[in-house]
Structure 1
Amino acid sequence: MVPLCSVKEALALFASELKEQREKEDANEQLTMGPEHELLKRREMEINKLRKDLENANMMLENSETTLRRKHQTVLNEFSSEIESLQKQKGKAEKDKNQLMLEIDNVLGQLDGAMKAKHSAETKLEGLDSQLSRLKCLTDDLQRQMNDLQNLKARLTAENFELVKANQEYEAQFITLSKAKSSLESEVDDLKRALDDASKVGHDCKLC
């Protein structure tokens, strides 16, 4: 697109040339009032037409310039509105991002607490498993002792009263140990249920 200032300069130069040409023709008209008079009149009419065309061109140029300025201002206003809207969206996105980061930190804190609780429960479970293993070994040993006593009882049934009495004492000891075993197994079952509940709580915290 040709700059408006260049078009104006060209039109001004063209008008100046027309003016000089008219002045020359007026001077010639003073010198020659003969057969060329009609030709000069026609030239004058042509010049007047060109001058009118020049004025129309200037008017169109001014109108075009005004229209372009209005369009330019409209585009600037639209850009300003878009920039303002983008800035608002950016602010909202930053706010949402900060809120999300807070929520993530909260969830991570809960997860960390759940993992610590799980680790503590697993440590307790390992200790309980170790105790249970020892109790099972003791129970197996007691069971073997009871079997030995029962075998001894079968062999010594016909023997004297003192041996029978000793066997009865062993049986009483076994009953006492069996009760202790049952009590310990009940405690172990209670601890396992408590551990299962703790594991479920930790799992629920992970899902949050």
Structure 2
Amino acid sequence: ISELEEDLEQERQSRSKSDRTRSELQRELEELSERLDEQGGATAAQIELNKKREAEMAKLKRDLEENNMNHEMQIAALRKKHNDAVGELSDQLEQLQKLKAKTDKDKAQLLRDVEDAHANADAESRARQEFEKQSKLVEMQFAELQTKADEQVRMRKKYFSDHLIYFEKNSREENFENCRKKK
């Protein structure tokens, strides 16, 4: 009996221990259930929040893609505008380079013409100086010849005058002689 009592006592202690453990486990289970319910509610709220966030993310992603497309279209338009402007500026530059080349060619021709004009002017100046020198020489020769001609005319007049005087004198003498002979 004592063994049975001991066994019974052990059985009671085991049962008491088992009841306590079971009640502790039950309490832990209830706490875990409460937490799980709380977590479940929180999880549902989290799921709703996540769905809202995913919807917002999807909207933001669409907005971002739309903005990216708009930016790409703007960039493409700006590139086209830039390329058109570069093309136009290239054409203008080419035209300006052609105009500059023509202007440089015309300038070089004008410089050659100016040099030729200076050379011609110098040649004409030298020719004019030579002409003036020759003209002065001719004028001097003319003056000298004029002086000689005047001298010749004077001498001729004198000669004719002297000759006339002589002739008249001779003629008078002859007439006088003739008159005397006649008498």
Q: Does 1:141 align with 2:137?
A: yes
Q: Which residue of 1 aligns with 2:54?
A: 58
Query: RCO greater where, 1 or 2, for CA within 8 Å and sep 6 or more?
Result: 1
TM-score w.r.t. length of structure 1 = 0.51
CA displacement, residues 104-136 of structure 1 (integer Å, 9 cap, x when unaligned): 222222232233233223222222222221221
Q: Which residue of 1 aligns with 2:42?
A: 46
Q: Does 1:114 align with 2:80?
A: no
CA RMSD of aligned residues (A): 3.5
CA distance in 2, matches of 1:163, 1:85: 110
The structure in which a higher percent of residues are helix is: 2
CA distance in 2, matches of 1:131, 1:143: 17
TM-score w.r.t. length of structure 2 = 0.56
CA distance in 1, matches of 2:135, 2:102: 48
The 5-angstrom pairing of residues 1-208 of structure 1 reads: 41-148=37-144, 159-161=155-157
**Structure (1 or 2) with the larger CA radius of gyration:** 2
CA displacement, residues 136-167 of structure 1 (integer Å, 9 cap, x when unaligned): 11222233344445666777876444899xxx
What is the count of residue pairs matched by the alignment? 136
CA 1:34–1:142 in 2, change beyond 3 Å: closer, same or farther? closer
CA distance in 1, matches of 2:102, 2:31: 107
- Which consecutive residues of structure 1, in runs of 5 or more, have no partner in the other structure? 1-28, 165-208
- Which consecutive residues of structure 2, in runs of 5 or more, have no partner in the other structure? 1-24, 161-183
